[in-house]
Amino acid sequence: MKAKKVVTAFVILSFLAVLTVVLCCSKSSDTVKIGVFLPMTGGVASYGQMEWAGIMTANEIKPTVLGKKVELILVDEKSDKIEAANAVSRLIKKEKVVAIIGTATSGNTMAGASIAEEAKVPIISPTATDPRVTQNRKYIFRVCFIDPFQGSVAAKYAFENLKARRAALLIDQAQDYCVDLANFFKQDFVRMGGSIVSSTFCQSGDQDFTAQLSAIKASKPDILYLPNYYTEDALVCKQAAELGLKFPILSADGAQAPELISIGGTSVEGFIFTGHFAKEGATTALAKQYIQSYESKNKTDASGFDALGADAYFVLVDAIERAKSTEGPKIREALASTKDFAGVSGVLNIGEDGNAKKGMVMLHVKEGKFRYLTTINP
């Protein structure tokens, strides 16, 4: 009798165990987990917050993939390389995501790239523009242009549109992005016949740029190229105005954050930069749908970083759909064969090198807002 009871109990427990596994598997299969790692706090938190807002809007527009709900799992990488690596590790090992969106900056994307590469989990970055992000890697992608193109466009615009022949540089030497971008600009500007009359340096977090600006003033440039992030750009513009400097200031995509204007005020009026997106230049059906949804929800204009966050999401979901799978290698193959994708920021193609081939916009600050100038295609 006791043996019969033991057998019965064993059968019941086995049934419950199997039922639990089935229910767990059923629950997990109801969603597709996509990880997101972004700088929601720290020195470049504005980038992360904008990209997250864009990703959430994109998720509202396209909430499912392969007939299942997309579950977004966000980890704050705190504008820190070690935290970025930890975030990628957590998303892969603990959260079991099928792919990852992130992060905003090149250095922090690279910090997590080797982890994703080893695990064969694709990462797609919205705005990591350094060429090294994707070099010698199969599972790392981006939806933005790369810095050699950005530096070349800036040099051409300075030389041809602004008629500059003498350029000064003020470079944040703590950021590889800034140093590399300055070198790309310098290479093309000199090749076209211009000269670099002053090269000065700063560090992220600096507050006083008087010494650098005094040296720049003495060199009598036609233009100042400032390939840095928004906080330093804004402070440089304020102090340049205080010193009475009148030459144009040209910058890069790292400037396209509202803080540039809130910190710089009227001193950034006329500030020009290369960027990823301007709603006045948006042409695709998805862009128009996105702009309406984003601005209705956030009560602010759609701009570069949120649009690129949205594009990273849309491109990834499209790749999963085309792969008909949530397996990393299959998603990777689909991402590497992205052709003529009509995204928010324009039409883009991604090949085996992981880089997006797409156009770039030129913007400037006019009457306290970012305004569209023109689009330049590769």
Q: Where are the domains of the chain?
A: 32-145+281-358, 148-275
CATH for the stretch 148-275? 3.40.50.2300
| Topology (CATH) of 32-145+281-358 | Rossmann fold (3.40.50)
What distance in Å separates the CA atoms of residue 197 and residue 22, rounded to the nearest whole number? 70
Torsion sign, CA atoms 135, 205, 298, 271: negative
pLDDT at 24 over 80: no
Task: Give the model confidence (pLDDT) of 67-95 as tens digits.
Answer: 999 999 999 999 999 999 999 999 999 99
What distance in Å separates the CA atoms of residue 375 and residue 90, rounded to the nearest whole number? 39
**Which residues, other chains included, contact 66 with Cβ-Cβ below 8 Å and sequence gap of 6+?**
32, 320, 321, 324, 326
Cα angle value 79/186/273 (rounded, 5°): 55
Residue-level pLDDT at 134: 98
What would the mean pLDDT of 137-151 be, rounded to a whole number? 96
What would the mean pLDDT of 185-206 be, rounded to a whole number? 97
Nearest Cα to Cα of residue 34 among 355, 294, 318: 318
Which residue did the predictor score with more confidence, 16 or 210?
Answer: 210
pTM comes to: 0.85
What distance in Å separates the CA atoms of residue 306 and residue 55, rounded to the nearest whole number? 7
Between the alpha carbon of residue 138 and those of residues 1, 92, 355, the distances in Å are: 63, 17, 11
Task: Give the model confidence (pLDDT) of 176-187 as tens digits.
Answer: 999 999 999 999
Whether 32-145+281-358 shares its CATH topology with 148-275 is answered yes
The fraction of the chain above a pLDDT of 70, given in percent, is 93
